[in-house]
Amino acid sequence: MHQHRTEFTAPAISLATAAVTGHTTRVLLVEDDFATRLLLQTFLSRYGECHVAVNGKEAVAAFRAASDCGQPYRLVCMDVLLPEMNGREAIGQIRAIEEASGVFSNSGAKIIMITNVHDIKEVSRCFRQLCDVYLTKPVDLRTLLRHLRAWHLA
């Protein structure tokens, strides 16, 4: 059985990343599925310090704490369907945290939505919340790496 992968990408925007300035890239991985979380955490740990949250509320709290202590996340990989707070809501709050501190989405964290949802309406809703890329599961790690390299995070 052939599995279909879908990828949608927001327009690329140049930014000065932590990798360029010599700081360790900090990654927030938000995933409630153990197998996907383990795969992505193992992969992303090669490119920076990887922290894990299992729901949207934890993600927002972790993002706020990292921003408050001056060590913001440069990359957020977020599942759409999460318990307690879905990924779209969490991204909206993450972008609001950035905006409140004077950081706008074009210079803030890169956000990748990773999900089983293939619906174009859901894709649109995620981009309205200012995600940068939308990938469907199973995640093609070569595609993920291509984005990391384009953003100078790998």
9 is a domain residue: no
Q: Which contacts (CB < 8 Å, 24+ apart) does range 66-73 have?
A: 66/26, 66/28, 67/97, 67/98, 67/101, 71/26, 72/26, 72/98, 72/103, 72/108, 72/109, 73/26, 73/27, 73/28, 73/109
Specify the pLDDT at position 2. 44
Determine, yes or no, domain membership for 152.
Answer: no
For residue 153, is it within any domain?
A: no
Q: What is the CATH number of the domain that holds 39?
A: 3.40.50.2300
The total number of structural domains that make up the chain: 1
42 within a domain of the structure (yes/no)? yes
Domain that holds residue 75: 26-144
| Per-residue pLDDT tens digits of the chain, which is 154 residues long | 444 444 444 433 323 333 344 457 899 999 999 999 999 999 999 999 999 999 999 999 999 999 999 999 999 999 988 999 999 899 999 999 999 999 887 789 999 998 887 777 777 777 777 888 888 889 999 999 999 999 999 8
Q: Residue 1's pLDDT is what?
A: 44
Q: Of 57, 7, 49, whose CA–CA distance to 28 is shortest?
A: 49
Q: Is residue 2 included in any domain, yes or no?
A: no
Question: Does 88 reside within a domain?
Answer: yes
